[in-house]
Amino acid sequence: MKKLIRTIGALLVIAVFLPDMRAEGPEVPVEDAEALAEVEPQEETERIEHDYSNLEGLVIQHGGRQKPLLTFARESLLTLSGRRSLSFEDGETVDAMGFLGSVWIGGRDWAHHPVVSLDHAGVKEALDLDMEARRHSYHDIVTAARFMELMEELEQRTETRESDELNDFYQNFNELVQRLRLFRAIERGVIMAVVPHPEDPEGTWATFTGARELYSEEQIHPFVEARGRLLVAYNPEMLPEEIREQLGGDLDFAEAALAFREAQRALSPEVVPSPAKVKTEVLYERWNPFRLALVFSLLACLATALTWTAWKRFGAIAGWALALGAILVLALGMAARVYISGRAPVTNMYETIIWVAFGLLVFAVIFEWRYRCRYYLVSATPFAALLLLVAESAPVMFDPNISPLTPVLRDNFWLTTHVLTVTISYAAFALAFALGHFVLGAQIVRGGKMVANRDLYAYIYRAMQVGILLLAIGVILGAVWANYSWGRFWDWDPKETWSLIALLGYLFVLHGRLVGWWGGFGFCVGAVLGFKGILMCWYGVNYILGAGLQSYGFGSGGTGWVVGFVIFELLFVGAAVVRRYYWFSEPGSGGRGDAGDALNQRETIAAGGVREESRASP
């Protein structure tokens, strides 16, 4: 009987694996559009729903590190489509694990479905694609009349070392080609490195076609058999009914997935990441703590703002609790990323946005505890929510993936001192920026009836002081780090230069206030305009200039939105200035009394900062 079962198992492996192993053969180049065009769409198989929860923790090596299959699936779908799930006109909705499982295990043909994201109008027009659609099928793209021509032009630019100077069109076309290559790699299975190295934790993992180069037949057999059962459990109709009966009936997919995962760990338990780390990353991917922090921040803002004139105590308690909840959730999310990656979470734009939102809320709570004024909470919470919304809603532009560090960042001492210090200073400046909008907004609404609020000016002053101190320390530490990494303290690198410009800009604003060049209103204008220097240092150097030694933070996209934001802010400040000095100003109402206001503020600062709860509206 045992011999019969082994024979059936062997036949099962042969019948199931040979077609799939052919799928893991040499990758067909994405440029081979003519060959792909000859392939007719496969007949749609019956759509099968499965519980992938036990398969989510299967470990795959990709992007320089080992990660759960759930992470790989979501990263891949975000890269391909810019979305966390796919929805089609026929009502079908497929999440990341469903998409990957249907390709890798079920062999579903996705080449003729609109999966690949493409937003650039020029590339769409060149490929004669639907201008209204945001996603297109792999087949439609690579069979376009000009696809091969554009590929050749891109290759020529790359060979002549012009890739660093690609214009907007070719940058977007190059990104499209990378997405196509990822799609093809998933379809062919050549990216599915789930066979761990037998000894070296840093060694290269293999796909099933390379498994026998790392393990003997005896060692790999349980893993291969577990994979065969997984494939049969995915679609039991692959086997004749009599063989299914001999195997004990239809296999449960969740149980087969768990057995497959355990067989992988049994191959090399010292190399596969610990169950605790895998579970942490799976929970992080499922939970999405930063989206929860966004909700808490918005609720904290509403609780504080809606109780500004009534139910103040209730609103204050609710605002504090929700703000602290947002801080806690952000801290847990960042702690999970630190545990998973083994480094500080500030090595790309996405992580710095999260870190700045966290710092913004922390500074607001600290200052709120000190001054009990509610201005800090009501200004910081919506700005933090906006930052989190930007990070979560633009995954193609702000990559949320946890990636290995570049060599220049692998010294964790300098990473945690210089980068963390500089970016946390952005949070203090963001707080001053948000508070400045209170004054300017009130000026636009009230015009000549505006009454100076010296306490609010002092709140902005305190936040700006903290930001200047932290940025100055960060710039100094950056010079030390530059000498350690590149052999010189200063080289006028764009990031260095704009950090210095931002620091000098804020020092100019602060100095002008102290010597009486402008009063509280002018100081608020400086707090709002000064943040444009931070924006250039933070976003502009990485996403607009894209130049310098610190290329680990480079990216693309969103320039139009940022330019629009800057224009809006300039118009907002201009409207406040016009309302204060030229439009419906009344004598003695603060229209041209900025110098006297400056003297009053210096007296307030000299007296120890802000007064107690005698605070008027801005």
The CA angle 78-50-97, to the nearest 5 degrees, is 15
CA distances from 612 to 372, 373, 604, 608 (A): 9, 9, 12, 11
Rounded Cα–Cα distance for residues 130 and 20 (Å): 34
Rounded Cα–Cα distance for residues 315 and 471 (Å): 34
Q: What is the pLDDT of residues 88-141, one digit of tens each?
A: 777 778 899 999 998 888 888 899 899 999 988 899 999 999 988 889 999 999
98 within domain boundaries: yes
Rg of the chain (C-alpha set):
29
614 within domain boundaries: no
Other Cβ atoms less than 10 A from the Cβ of 276: the count is 9
The answer to whether residue 314 scores a pLDDT higher than 80 is yes
278 within domain boundaries: no
Sequence letter at residue 390: V
Please report which confidence band the pLDDT of residue 611 belongs to, taking 50, 70 and 90 as the band edges: very low
The answer to whether residue 603 scores a pLDDT higher than 70 is no
Cα–Cα nearest to 304, from 375, 386, 213: 375
601 within domain boundaries: yes
The answer to whether residue 27 scores a pLDDT higher than 60 is no
- The answer to whether the predicted template modeling score (pTM) of the entire model surpasses 0.75 is yes
Per-residue model confidence (pLDDT) at position 572? 93
Per-residue model confidence (pLDDT) at position 550? 57
Quote the number of domains for the chain: 2
Give percent of the chain above pLDDT 70.
79
Considering 221-235, 428-442, 533-547, the range whose residues carry the highest mean pLDDT is 428-442
Q: Say whether both 265 and 411 belong to one domain.
A: no
Q: What is the pLDDT of residues 169-180, one digit of tens each?
A: 888 888 899 999
Rounded Cα–Cα distance for residues 441 and 382 (Å): 15
H/E stretch holding 117 reads strand 114-117
User: Which stretch of 160-164, 470-474, 533-537 has the lowest confidence by average pLDDT?
Assistant: 160-164
Q: Say whether both 87 and 229 belong to one domain.
A: yes
The CA angle 226-227-229, to the nearest 5 degrees, is 65
581 within domain boundaries: yes
Mean pLDDT for 599-614 is 41
SS3 549: coil
CA 88 to chain centre: 25
Q: What is the pLDDT of residues 385-408, one digit of tens each?
A: 999 999 988 777 788 888 877 665
Which of the listed residues 233, 255, 271 is the one where a domain comes to its end?
271
589 within domain boundaries: yes
Per-residue model confidence (pLDDT) at position 153? 86
Q: Residue 117 contacts by C-beta under 8 Å, 6 or more apart in sequence?
A: 80, 81, 82, 83, 134, 135, 179, 396
Is the sign of the CA dihedral 323, 324, 328, 329 positive or negative? negative
Which of the listed residues 216, 246, 271 is the one where a domain comes to its end?
271
Please report which confidence band the pLDDT of residue 142 belongs to, taking 50, 70 and 90 as the band edges: very high
Rounded Cα–Cα distance for residues 242 and 249 (Å): 9
User: Which stretch of 99-108, 285-294, 296-305, 418-427 has the lowest confidence by average pLDDT?
Assistant: 99-108
SS3 63: coil
> 49 versus 370: which is more confidently predicted?
370
Other Cβ atoms less than 10 A from the Cβ of 510: the count is 18
Burial class (CB in 10 A: 0-12, 13-18, 19+), 65: middle
Task: Report how far apart the first and last C-alpha atoms of the chain are (Å, whole number).
Answer: 87
Rounded Cα–Cα distance for residues 567 and 364 (Å): 27
Place of tokens 């989510």: 56
389 within domain boundaries: no
Which of the listed residues 222, 238, 271 is the one where a domain comes to its end?
271
Q: Residue 56 contacts by C-beta under 8 Å, 6 or more apart in sequence?
A: 68, 69, 70, 97, 282, 285
Rounded Cα–Cα distance for residues 555 and 187 (Å): 27
Rounded Cα–Cα distance for residues 135 and 74 (Å): 17
Give the phi and the psi of residue 226 in degrees, each rounded to 5: -65, -35
Per-residue model confidence (pLDDT) at position 116? 93
Give the phi and the psi of residue 62 in degrees, each rounded to 5: -160, 140
Alpha carbons within 13 A on the beta-carbon side of 145:
4
Per the structure, the complete domain to which residue 516 belongs is given by 405-606
Long-range contacts of 243-252 (CB under 8 A, 24+ apart): 243/8, 243/11, 243/12, 246/5, 246/8, 247/8, 247/12
Rounded Cα–Cα distance for residues 500 and 506 (Å): 10
Paired with 230 in beta bridges are none
Rounded Cα–Cα distance for residues 569 and 434 (Å): 12
Per-residue model confidence (pLDDT) at position 7? 39
**SS3 track for 378-392:** HHHHHHHHHHHHHHH
Per-residue model confidence (pLDDT) at position 298? 94
296 within domain boundaries: no
